[in-house]
Chains A and B, each alone.
Chain A
């Protein structure tokens, strides 16, 4: 049963804490992405990775960090430097990244992060 899993579904963080959101895929996709969605603002790209051990900043990378040690996994850490982290976080993957035109992205179920 192929797909993308994200955990936890809901996460509560206290001010000043770092938290890590998990994203795993068994689709054998090369590229993985992290988005943030806020009401009225649409999807904004945080980080993306086209291959293992490589990743690039997206449009709103400040206060976030990622790693890509395995093809299947792309965890996102929300650090205390992120001033307004309450949002819906979405992980996605695609067969290939880069300049490939055929770049259908498939999403996991998301993690809703709330700062207390």
Chain B
């Protein structure tokens, strides 16, 4: 079982819709969770970090964490073509110095 799993996609949504990206993790001791956006040929850019159960909102982005079910999700409201990218989920366990990375979900927002 992979430590951090994401659906590779591509996930295709129309412009203006809500895009929902999911990530599951295997280590119940995980404490910190991060979403990064990576455009083709570019480096990852941090979008959101979340540490507590529940929702965290930042503009059009909402991260949702459920530690009991071991998943973290990212919602993108009013999706724009400029949101088309690969979204990477990263998880840090409480006793681990390293981030564990998912392989990413490719999102395509169609005009």
Contact = CB atoms under 8 A, between A and B. Distances in A.
B51 A102 contact: yes
Interface string A86-112: 000010000001110111111111100
A50 B97 CA distance: 10
A58 B99 CA distance: 11
Contact of B46 (A42, A90, A105, A109): A105
A115 to B, nearest CB: 19
Contacts of B34: 104-105
19 contacts: A42-B101, A42-B102, A42-B104, A43-B88, A43-B101, A45-B98, A45-B99, A48-B97, A48-B98, A56-B97, A99-B95, A101-B51, A101-B94, A102-B32, A102-B51, A105-B99, A107-B44, A108-B43, A110-B42
Interface of B: 31-32, 34, 42-46, 49, 51, 88, 90, 92, 94-95, 97-99, 101-104
Nearest 10 A-B pairs (CB), nearest first? A107-B43, A42-B103, A43-B101, A110-B43, A101-B31, A101-B32, A42-B101, A107-B44, A109-B43, A104-B49
